[in-house]
Amino acid sequence: MESIRRADSKSDDDWTYALALEARDRLRDTLRRHRSLAATWEIQPPASVADRWRTLVAAFVSHEFTWFGLPAPPWTEGLSLATEWVLDTPRLSESEIKRQTPDWLAERNIFIAEKDLVTL
C-alpha cells in the first residue's frame, strides 16, 4: 500500500494501477499456495492512501477472499466511492467501460473494463 500511495502522490495512475493489480495477484498467489498467510491481509491500509485506491484494493481483496471461499477482511466491507471513478482505457468509451465492468467493482462505484483486470 505504501508503494501505491507513493505512485499516486506522483500522479502516475498507470503505475499506481499496475501496483494495485500486483497486490491483487500476490494475494491470489498467497490464497492459492499459502492460505495460512491470509491473515496478513486483515490489516487495514494506512489512511494516507487515496480513497479511490483504498477502495479498489478493498474490492480486489474482498473479491479474492470470496473467490477462494474465505470471509473477506472486515476493513474491505462497505467501502464505496461517493462519485464514479472510470479508469480510462484505450479504444473504449466511458459507457463501454461501464458495461464491461464486473458487478463486484461497479457496486463500489469503480468502473474498469474486464480486459484491464487481466494479468499474465
| Span 59-102, pLDDT tens digits | 999 999 999 999 999 999 988 999 999 999 889 999 999 999 99
Q: Which of 80, 74, 72, 86 is nearest to 27 (CA)?
A: 72
What is the model's pTM? Answer: 0.92
Domain coverage including residue 10? 2-117
| Count of domains forming the chain | 1
Beta bridge partners of 110: 85
